[in-house]
């Protein structure tokens, strides 16, 4: 199951292994045990239980699935916010010049900049903050809520509840103030009897009742919800309890149908009621009024336009198919159809026939009809510029020309035999001049012989070099390479010297680095 052995298994061993795994899953065989003596669940998939090959596991184990890179130095604690460690009485050297704390400087101070800092006033020294430094693991660094205390949210709830309580108290005082002003006006007009006192007391009680109803109506009901994690939350119910549900407007079974799934009632539940008094006449009244009717007309127009466009598209496809079939017939009629089942004539397939034609000694036809050779679309046997042969009938020195005059210039005028004789005479004269020049160069004695380099990549065996000149050539080659690397020393007007001595050539070969040379890094 979780073995890390990758040795080859025969078909019989593989079958036994599968049978053993099935027996373990069925509970007929004992489960496999890891290195710690714990049983391994046989229902774990193989891609989870098999250890990777690079771990070199010698026996079944699930250690590769555990968190084996955990660092004991990591911590999940958080900074102690607002903690103070020491309160000084006077300013200390090296402290913040603004507040006097030793744990930060003036640039990092979070207090309001004082007109005269604590360094000069030596008063109101701020306490030293608690500085903590600890390492967080991967999850701790990326946790948005790391260090958040849920208990601090209770202060927010208390603040909002205090505001609501103050609002209710203010409304109650306003109601009582209005009642007192009204009673005082009545008392100023005349004496008040006991019945009037009772009536005023009754009005005050009714005002309190009305006030409580108003507050209940304005109050949003809260329902506490408890989750499995122990946290609680509030769910606000914004439904007004005075609203009557649609299905309660008319309890008659034969009245308008109410769909509980969509909470809709399209028909009017009270068709006989006074239109001025009823506030709900079915959902259809919203569909046939306002912008809903315009939207409906827009949809109808869109559907009609879509049907017309679809019809035009179908007509376009039919006409397109007709044109394609017509063009296909025209091409097949003109060039034939090689994919058809008709057999191709043999004279067209092989370019020959079995027709018999007899000729006499002079080449005249005695019996039969002579076959005509096919002619190309290009003009044949057309001679221009007095030529008696066509261009390309003569070849010499990788050049085409005319056979009649042996000229290699196309569209030239034919010179005939005279042109051939003149061309041969010019060629003979050129050969004589080349031979005479070569003989004169061989007879010329050099005034000063230089040991010039004549080899390429291979060094001749009989090479004799002057060591002093070679050292000087190596020095010049180093200077040239330095100038190439330093762009500031590069010259604009470059002069080339075609004469290279053997020492200069050897210096260039010694300093040249071949990129495919494995020993190039060891050259000096």
Cα angle: 461, vertex 462, 467; to 5 degrees: 105
pLDDT band for 236, please (50, 70, 90 cuts): low
What are the tens digits of pLDDT across the range 367-386?
A: 877 666 666 777 777 888 88
pLDDT band for 216, please (50, 70, 90 cuts): very low
pLDDT band for 498, please (50, 70, 90 cuts): low
pLDDT of 35: 81
Q: Which two tokens stand for residue 70?
A: 């955990």
Q: Which two tokens stand for residue 125?
A: 């020294």
Q: 46-50 long-range CB contacts below 8 Å, 24 or more apart?
A: 46/1, 49/1, 49/2, 50/2, 50/3, 50/4
Rounded CA gap, 226 and 233, in Å? 7
pLDDT of 218: 46
Residues 6+ apart with CB under 8 A from 61: 2, 4, 34, 35, 51
Rounded CA gap, 250 and 186, in Å? 48
pLDDT of 57: 80
pLDDT of 453: 57
pLDDT of 221: 47
pLDDT, average across residues 315-324: 93
Check whether 461 has a pLDDT greater than 70: no
pLDDT of 220: 47
pLDDT band for 327, please (50, 70, 90 cuts): very high
pLDDT band for 124, please (50, 70, 90 cuts): very high
pLDDT of 170: 94
Task: Give the rounded percent of residues in the chain with a pLDDT score beyond 90.
Answer: 17
pLDDT, average across residues 265-285: 85
Check whether 75 has a pLDDT greater than 80: no
pLDDT of 239: 61
List the end-to-end C-alpha distance of the chain, in Å, as a whole number.
61
Q: Which residue has the higher pLDDT, 453 or 225?
A: 453
pLDDT band for 34, please (50, 70, 90 cuts): confident
What are the tens digits of pLDDT across the range 336-357?
A: 777 766 676 666 666 666 678 8
Check whether 306 has a pLDDT greater than 90: no
Q: Which residue has the higher pLDDT, 520 or 137?
A: 137
Rounded CA gap, 111 and 133, in Å? 22
pLDDT band for 49, please (50, 70, 90 cuts): confident
What are the tens digits of pLDDT across the range 391-419?
A: 888 888 888 998 888 888 888 888 888 88
Torsion of CA 160, 165, 167, 168, to 10 degrees: 140
Check whether 233 has a pLDDT greater than 90: no
What are the tens digits of pLDDT across the range 158-206?
A: 999 999 999 999 999 999 999 988 888 877 665 545 555 555 555 555 5
Lowest average pLDDT, out of 215-219, 274-278, 327-331, goes to 215-219
Check whether 115 has a pLDDT greater than 50: yes
pLDDT of 350: 63
What are the tens digits of pLDDT across the range 76-106?
A: 677 888 889 999 999 999 999 999 999 999 9
- The DSSP-derived string for 414-436 is P-HHHHHHHHHHHHHHHHHHHHH
Check whether 45 has a pLDDT greater than 60: yes
- Residue 184 CA: distances (Å) to CA of 194, 337, 440: 16, 117, 149
Backbone angles phi and psi of 67, in degrees to 5: -80, 90
pLDDT of 496: 64
Burial of 165 (0-12, 13-18, 19+ CB in 10 A): exposed
pTM above 0.85, yes or no: no
Rounded CA gap, 82 and 77, in Å? 15
pLDDT band for 493, please (50, 70, 90 cuts): low
What are the tens digits of pLDDT across the range 465-486?
A: 888 888 898 888 888 888 777 7
251-263: burial string, b at 16+ Cβ within 10 Å, e else: eeeebbebeeeee
pLDDT, average across residues 445-470: 64
Rounded CA gap, 484 and 486, in Å? 6
Q: What is the helix, strand, coil percentage profile of the chain, to 5?
A: 40, 5, 50
Check whether 455 has a pLDDT greater than 60: no
Q: Which residue has the higher pLDDT, 489 or 113?
A: 113
Backbone angles phi and psi of 196, in degrees to 5: -65, -35
pLDDT of 249: 86
Q: Which residue has the higher pLDDT, 195 or 365?
A: 365
């Amino acid at each position: 199951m979780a073995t890390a052995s990758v040795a080859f298994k025969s078909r019989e061993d593989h079958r036994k292994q599968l049978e053993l795994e099935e027996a373990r899953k069925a509970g007929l065989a004992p489960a496999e045990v890891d290195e710690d003596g714990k049983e391994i669940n046989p229902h774990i998939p193989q891609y989870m239980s098999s250890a990777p090959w690079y771990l070199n596991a010698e026996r079944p184990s699930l250690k590769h699935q555990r968190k084996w890179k955990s660092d004991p130095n990591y911590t999940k604690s958080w900074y102690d916010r607002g903690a103070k460690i020491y309160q000084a009485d006077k300013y200390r050297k090296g402290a913040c010049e603004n507040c006097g704390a030793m744990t930060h400087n003036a640039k990092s101070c979070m207090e309001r900049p004082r007109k005269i800092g604590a360094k000069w006033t030596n008063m109101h020294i701020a306490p030293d903050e608690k500085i903590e430094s600890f390492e967080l693991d991967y999850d701790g660094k990326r946790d948005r809520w790391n260090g958040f205390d849920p208990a601090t949210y209770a202060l927010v709830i208390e603040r909002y509840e205090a505001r609501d309580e103050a609002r209710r108290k203010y409304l109650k005082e306003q109601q009582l103030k209005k009642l007192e002003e009204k009673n005082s006006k009545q008392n100023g007009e005349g004496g008040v009897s006991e019945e009037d006192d009772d009536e005023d007391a009754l009005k005050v009680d009714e005002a309190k009742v009305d006030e409580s109803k108003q507050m209940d109506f304005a109050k949003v009901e809260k329902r506490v919800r408890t989750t499995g994690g122990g946290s609680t939350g509030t769910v606000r119910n914004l439904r007004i309890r005075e609203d009557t549900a649609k299905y309660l407007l008319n309890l008659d079974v034969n009245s308008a149908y109410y769909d509980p799934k969509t909470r809709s009632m399209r028909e009017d539940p009270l068709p006989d009621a006074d239109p001025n008094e009823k506030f709900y006449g079915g959902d259809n009244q919203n569909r046939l009024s306002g912008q809903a009717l315009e939207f409906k007309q827009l949809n109808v127009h869109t559907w009609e336009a879509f049907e017309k466009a679809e019809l035009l598209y179908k007509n376009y496809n039919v006409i397109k198919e007709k044109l394609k079939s017509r063009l296909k017939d025209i091409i097949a009629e003109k060039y034939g159809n090689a994919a058809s089942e008709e057999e191709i004539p043999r004279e067209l397939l092989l370019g020959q026939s079995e027709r018999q034609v007899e000729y006499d000694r002079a080449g005249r036809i005695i019996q039969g009809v002579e076959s005509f050779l096919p002619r190309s679309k290009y003009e044949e046997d057309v001679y221009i510029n007095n030529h008696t042969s066509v261009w390309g009938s003569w070849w010499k020195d990788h050049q085409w020309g005319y056979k009649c005059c042996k000229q290699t210039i196309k569209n030239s005028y034919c010179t005939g035999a005279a042109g051939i004789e003149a061309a041969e005479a010019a060629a003979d004269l050129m050969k004589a001049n080349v031979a005479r020049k070569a003989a004169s160069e061989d007879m010329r004695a050099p005034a000063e012989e230089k040991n010039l380099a004549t080899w390429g990549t291979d060094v001749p065996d009989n090479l004799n070099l002057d060591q002093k000149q070679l050292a000087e050539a190596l020095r010049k080659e180093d200077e040239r390479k330095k100038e190439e690397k330093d762009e500031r020393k590069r010259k604009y007007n470059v002069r080339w010297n075609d004469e290279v001595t053997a020492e200069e050539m050897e210096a260039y070969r010694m300093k040249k680095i071949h990129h495919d040379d494995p020993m190039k890094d060891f050259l000096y």
